[in-house]
Chain A
């Protein structure tokens, strides 16, 4: 079988998603047998984009002109374009301040320095190009990344989950932090797949995997209000990983 040609790169983000893949040390030798990591700047010296790719795997959201150019280029050259990580899928922490003026933010961070590149409001990938599949998570689960790659070899793309973090939390028989302890856990509004990592360590879900497709926001807000959390507090928490949550 011919090796699959991959392009793996990041836009505005922390590189954590790409690192999650590089952290799969045990599987890396197998991956090298089956994939040609033709463009992977984080792992090897930057190369130019050459020819076509079976898949582009992209982390982060787009906030600079050169990123936009690279993304369009990758899209044009790839059979599949796959968004990996919450930033690429929903905006994530990179889009945390999307409601505020760019110019004000720029001044806060860089003062009057003029060497800063021009930036725009960070956008998730699907605002600019067609995305064939997404893997959410901040960072994504290693298992999901490996299954994505295995799937590509078999010609399949991953399926989206349609259950919340609460589902896996219940399967793990955790005491509910929201209903039993009155803590602000976002589990019921957030896409599952992390095996309820945080509530299983008695830490409320922060919502890092982004919104559940059919989240029942109205009812959730009612429960949160009952537990003493007003809308502003809940939305401030929700928007940390997805600025699209609206009152």
Chain B
């Protein structure tokens, strides 16, 4: 296949030229050892081999805290869409891309969320290949294998084999002709295909909510919400409105919400649907493995492994997934 090759030596120049298309955000390893998506300004070196960042790139599309509307007496509710400048998200793993693809369907579908759509329209996605570790389960999730990006870079000996998937990607690579020579090269096979044993994912089967395992998980869960904050596809939100000090204006703010919080299923009058932690776990599992609403049947777990890696007590829903899928076969 005719592809482009960028050598390791040319990567800094590639990045430099890429800045023309907007700011670049990618994985940076901090002095404390933590890897976070951050601005790849001139002189910074992305950690392209880092296995996972603390938060996924969803923070760029769907902010943890976002002012949606202002209310004033004169204008009523006014939607706030600040000027959003173009951003290139660099070195996204396939699970990360699959997460964004999922959010695109969820928040950018038929009735797009205006704030999401505004940010998304300014974003270019550059994917990168990776090697899974023991927390990853991308090989059992169908979506990472089909994840879409504008440009995808496969890490090979001495550089990257680059494939282009969109007109925006093409436009960028047109500009990189001097740095990325055209070559007849095989696109490497996805390493993840060889990782682990694939489970039959019978996504529509009913789940056994009577299993004692639910309660066992629930008894240990701290309700910290780390597992959902760090999930590339978790997009539940809470909206609060705060009155201004002038007695008439207000601001409406959207926050990341979390199905492991009691307030998540609390309705007017104080009634709570998912009272106990076990119910909340079943709910989370249903969503992650079975899908919801119009995406019913599409698992929203993309297998990034963050929830397992960052849960303070190391809870692993994979155990239940395997148990349930086996009993459903």
Contacts and interface: CB of A to CB of B under 8 A. Distances in A.
Contacts of A147: 242-243
Interface in B287-325: 310, 312-313
Contact of B243 (A150, A175, A178, A202): A150
Given A31-B245, A223-B313, A216 B222 contact: yes
Contact of B219 (A33, A164, A219, A220): A219
A159 interface: yes
Interface string A157-176: 00100111011001101111
Given A163-B225, A179-B312, A150 B261 contact: no
B195 interface: no
Given A1-B247, A219-B313, A151 B222 contact: no
Nearest to B37: A173
B242 A176 contact: no
A34 B262 contact: no
B32 interface: yes
A171 B250 CA distance: 25
14 contacts: A27-B245, A33-B246, A34-B246, A147-B242, A151-B242, A154-B243, A162-B263, A170-B225, A171-B229, A171-B256, A174-B34, A175-B54, A216-B223, A223-B312
B226 A167 contact: yes
Interface in A161-197: 162-164, 166-167, 170-171, 173-176, 178-180, 187-188
Contacts of A150: 242-245, 250
A230 interface: no
Contact of B225 (A167, A175, A179): A167
Nearest to A149: B245
Nearest to A164: B224
A84 B224 CA distance: 25
B55 A171 contact: yes
B224 A154 contact: no
A146 interface: yes
Contacts of A164: 222-224
Prevailing SS type, chain B contact patch: loop
Nearest to A167: B225
Interface in A193-216: 202, 212-214, 216
Contacts of B263: 159, 162
Given A162-B262, A170-B226, A176 B245 contact: no
Given A31-B245, A213-B262, 19 more contacts: A1-B247, A33-B246, A150-B244, A150-B245, A153-B243, A154-B247, A162-B262, A170-B54, A173-B36, A173-B54, A175-B32, A175-B34, A176-B312, A188-B312, A212-B223, A216-B220, A219-B220, A223-B312, A223-B313
Nearest to A213: B262
Given A188-B312, A216-B223, A223-B313, A170 B229 contact: yes
Interface of B: 32-34, 36, 54-55, 64, 219-226, 229-230, 240, 242-247, 250, 256, 258, 261-263, 277, 310, 312-313
A170 B223 contact: no
Nearest to A30: B245
A20 B312 CA distance: 34
A34 B34 CA distance: 46
B312 A166 contact: yes
Nearest to A147: B242
Nearest to A173: B54
A199 B36 CA distance: 17
Nearest to A3: B247
Nearest to A165: B224
